[in-house]
Structure 1
Amino acid sequence: MRALLERVRYEVLPAGPTEEQVLAHVPRDVVITVTASPVKGLDPTLDLAVRLAGQGYRVVPHVPARLLRDGAHVAEIADLLRASGVEDVFVPAGDANPSAGAYEGALPVLRQLSELGSPFRHVGITGYPERHPLIDDDITIQAMWEKRVHATYIVSNLCFDPQVLGEWVGRIRRRGVVLPVHVGVAGPVERTKLLAMATKIGVGESTRFLARHASWFVRLSAPGGYSPERFLTRIAPALTAPSAVVAGLHVFTFNQIAETERWRRAMLERADV
């Protein structure tokens, strides 16, 4: 448990107070990932990523394929981020509809980055422990196989069933996908704040994701419906097995940044008892 909690990434939304909250509450050894909105575009994500990188954080901007215009746009963003010291990007397909330009999925963007000489040391792709709303499970695993030569790690999407998550990790390993996995989990979510955030569809992929999965939203927001401590306790044996190759936790904060870091520190203190 301690190892998982020490290797965390916090996913944040590029809203007005986000930078101030990160600076006030998050230590520099915690990786910050910044979502991108199909409504607001990439600029808020890139701006926040550059500012946080300048403050000494290891930052991972989300660069959804469907928000990119063309190869020149990919090269422009790569140059901007590398000049700012960013060495890690997360490349999902995204859910902009219609797409902003030439790309419908992540693989062509990953290929473009490879053609540019692989400007980033780390490149992340998405994994789906629970069924994707539009794509069959075998296809998503095959997609990870095709992307593996261009990526260095996988971030799993939210999953609230420890058994399903453990089985998925085993299944992708049996299929020959050996990239390390950052396991996506929801942090400690305060109900009223989550409800307020979920009404602002478009501020980030996390809230859009919740909007598309109403039953998951209920599990997060209902009293007693979800506990990150209980979830991690149940899934820890599967995630710490050497064959799982789990790199750490990817915590969806829903911008409850101070609450998430307080929860992590409390969990670390209990792990030492």
Structure 2
Amino acid sequence: MTGKDVPALHEAAGAIPPGTRVNVTFLGNEDLDMRVSAAKAVKDAGFIPVPHISARRLASQAQLEEFLDRLQQVGATEHVFAVGGDPATPEGPYDSAYDVIRSGVLQKYGVREVSISGYPEGHPDIPSDVLWDHLEKKTASLADQGLGSVILTQFSFDTDPVIQWIDEVRRRDIDATIRIGTPGPAGIKRLLAFATRFGVGANAMIVKKYGFSLTNLLGTAGPDRFVTELAERLGDGSGDVKLHMYAFGGLKATADWARDFQAKATS
């Protein structure tokens, strides 16, 4: 959710199980009060807030500490998501999420677990070897500091690169929980727009496998096939793998889908 999504959170709350993690983004067009208020709303609703820390958007260590201090005041610092962020040029001293992690600032404000980014299909602007190097450095640094780690991935329409990427993560002896990014039900045009923005594969064969066609962009698509196939393909060596739902079609639509899918799976 974003800082503007508090009303949407309240609308969806009845369909979200207590204790669910809800990420709160760090957007350039939102201010400190909006981010903290959103994290507090998540906490007050009985969920676990996971506020984002956008490294390249931080102008100084003082700004990072002010953000963490405000979050700690509302009980929202145990779980955070450290991400590099969009600006091509850092606005302050942090060039990457790794710089924030190794700063030693997080523990001072009660952080116990840090989510970090994973890219099963690569990143449009970062070479693959750099992505792997930073993933290894970040998980190692968190372990050295006694902090838990979760790898939260970019979304995908295709299980093939996801399974291959999970296998490579484990081959590198990284045993962190992996949460595979999964788009909740959303308009097909909207899904394709996000795929283009984030470099996610969306050719005709891939999207047909996922459950929609590039020749008919009307309507919505959900991740039923993707989630079912992913569960079937995970093996003993996959380790702890869960989902992270991207609410591209809205919080309530995503929460309703997850509730209904789980009900069908257990019936």
* TM surpasses 0.5: yes
How many percent identity over aligned positions?
27
Q: CA RMSD in A?
A: 2.9
Residue aligned with 1:271, SS = helix
Residue aligned with 1:250, SS = strand
In structure 2, the partner of 1:203 is: none
1:239-258 aligned within 5 A: 239=234, 241-254=235-248, 256-258=250-252
In structure 1, the partner of 2:224 is: 229
Contact 2:186/2:249 (CA < 8 Å) preserved in 1?
A: no
- Structure with larger RCO (C-alpha < 8 A, sep 6+): 1
Structure 1 residue runs of 4 or more that deviate by more than 6 Å after TM superposition: none
1:47 to 5, 26, 37: 37
1: CA distance, partners of 2:251 / 2:232: 27
2:4 to 15, 36, 42: 15
Amino acid at match of 2:233: A
1:1-273 aligned within 5 A: 12-16=1-5, 17-86=7-76, 87-113=78-104, 116-117=107-108, 119-148=110-139, 149-150=141-142, 152-191=149-188, 194=190, 211-213=197-199, 216=202, 219=207, 222=217, 226-239=221-234, 241-254=235-248, 256-273=250-267
Amino acid at match of 1:72: A
Displacement after TM superposition at 1:40 (Å): 2.9
Alignment deviations for residues 45-100 of structure 1 (CA, whole Å, 9 cap, x no partner): 22201222133221101111012122222222222222211210000101024433
Distance 1:212 1:248, change over 3 A: closer
Residue aligned with 2:83, SS = coil
Residue aligned with 1:178, SS = coil
Unaligned runs of 5+ in 1: 1-11, 199-206
Amino acid at match of 1:235: L
Which has the higher mean CA deviation after the structures are superposed, 119-128 or 69-78? 69-78
In structure 2, the partner of 1:202 is: none
Residue aligned with 1:166, SS = helix
Which has the higher mean CA deviation after the structures are superposed, 50-59 or 138-147? 50-59
Contact 1:89/1:120 (CA < 8 Å) preserved in 2?
A: yes
2: CA distance, partners of 1:115 / 1:187: 31
Displacement after TM superposition at 1:29 (Å): 2.6
Unaligned runs of 5+ in 2: 143-147
Contact 2:157/2:201 (CA < 8 Å) preserved in 1?
A: no
| TM-score of the pair, normalised by structure 2 | 0.81
In structure 2, the partner of 1:4 is: none
Contact 2:184/2:249 (CA < 8 Å) preserved in 1?
A: no
Contact 1:49/1:61 (CA < 8 Å) preserved in 2?
A: yes
Contact 2:155/2:200 (CA < 8 Å) preserved in 1?
A: no
2: CA distance, partners of 1:60 / 1:121: 11
2: CA distance, partners of 1:248 / 1:214: 20
Equivalent residues, number: 250
Displacement after TM superposition at 1:217 (Å): 10
